[in-house]
Structure 1
């Protein structure tokens, strides 16, 4: 615990490596040991953090995001190329909100996918790939779980 939280001077305060003081202006977003397939599908695995991305609270607020509803996972496969490539990490917003078309992580049976999801009406969705070599997949709403909306990506150039 930093000494300043106990009333001591800031210059004598200690913050353990990897810990961010509550008033630092930064939010640690967990990187989960999960992959979402941009292709035929990836098995979910465990939702266990192995590291963090650190974002500015101000930047998150400007983006309309709440750090407590975010996590990062890795993209596998090539069906979302060139938008998302294998090895990219995406920030997934899990906050409860009305559905709107966009890039989402979805669970279809035991498989995690990252796809452009478009509502078709009548309780149906289209799961679309950026890579035109992959055909659209039509699914009933009760057959998928929308895990969250992809709001940011990182990756190598």
Structure 2
């Protein structure tokens, strides 16, 4: 019976992904895993079961009962005996809707000389309240957390701060963004300039401002939150 449940969870995940038009590789990245993680789960049964946090995040993303992805039936003790007590889909969704696990990307967004672009494989997750994200107009699947390196954005951002980056395509407005410039990943303040240019600004006055063609600047996402050590 347990093996059938595991196989059912794998099949259900494939169906849900196809219905959403999203790849297993993208889903793996969303839950902070390497890109082959869910492919291995589906095709080879490794891991045999999804970990609880991964299962919860996926169930929330698809809006389904966590049991559909292999969650065990809850048990409660009544009068000294055990009675299976499966929670209703509505109760599951209410629980899942409370939090979102946003992947941490290990490649630092440099606030100094710059970090060369590399493969961005998540190395962990940071949990945010879905209520807060919704209030900010943010979609969890479009978010990632990156660590700042360097001092060029001080005092706004310090070396080691973590920033929440919104990758949702939006019209550019002035603010702090993660960008790629000359194949280097940077976190800078952007302002529109004359003649199709962008002003690339460091908050630390010790660093010079740059003015570059907007075509040369790839905007990865807008910084919408920061956290760091005191």
* Range class of TM-score, shorter chain: 0.7 to 0.9
Structure with the larger strand share: 1
Counterpart in 1 of 2:71?
2
SS of equivalent residue, structure 2 residue 204: coil
2:105 to 10, 32, 39: 32
Does the CA-based 8 Å contact 1:33-1:46 persist in structure 2?
no
Q: How many residues align?
A: 146
Structure 2 distance, partners of 1:4, 1:144, is: 51
Tell me the TM-score normalized by structure 1. 0.87
Query: What's the C-alpha RMSD, in Å, of the aligned pairs?
Result: 1.7
After alignment, is 111-120 or 121-130 more displaced?
A: 121-130
SS at match of 2:193: strand
Q: For 1:38-64, what per-residue CA distance to the aligned partner results, in whole angstroms no more than 9, with x for missing partners?
A: 122111222110100011111100111
What SS does the aligned partner of 1:132 have?
coil
Q: Is the 8 A contact 1:115 1:127 kept in 2?
A: yes
Question: What is residue 224 of structure 2 aligned with on the other side?
Answer: 151
Gaps of 5+ in 1: 12-20
Q: Is the 8 A contact 1:92 1:105 kept in 2?
A: yes
- Is the 8 Å Cα contact of residues 36 and 44 (structure 1) preserved in structure 2? no
Give, in whole Å, the separation in 2 of the partners of 1:91 and 1:45. 19
Q: Distance in 1 between matches of 2:184 and 2:220?
A: 11
Deviations 1:90-148 (A, max 9, x none): 00000011110100000002100000000013210011111100010111011110000
Partner SS, residue 116 of structure 1: strand
Q: Judging changes above 3 Å, is the alpha-carbon distance between structure 1 residues 97 and 4 closer, same or farther for their aligned structure 2 residues?
A: farther
What is the CA–CA distance in structure 1 between the aligned matches of 2:193 and 2:160, rounded to whole Å?
Answer: 30
Verify the 8 A CA contact 1:35 1:44 in the aligned structure 2: no
Unaligned 5+ residue runs, structure 2?
Answer: 1-69, 75-83
For residues 3-50 of structure 1, give each alpha carbon's deviation from its aligned partner in whole angstroms, at most 9, with x where no partner exists. 359xx6248xxxxxxxxx764221110001111111221112221101
| TM-score in terms of structure 2 length | 0.60
- Residues 8-157 of structure 1 mapped to structure 2, 5 A cutoff: 9-10=85-86, 23-24=95-96, 25-157=98-230
Greater Rg by CA: 2
Partner SS, residue 123 of structure 2 = strand
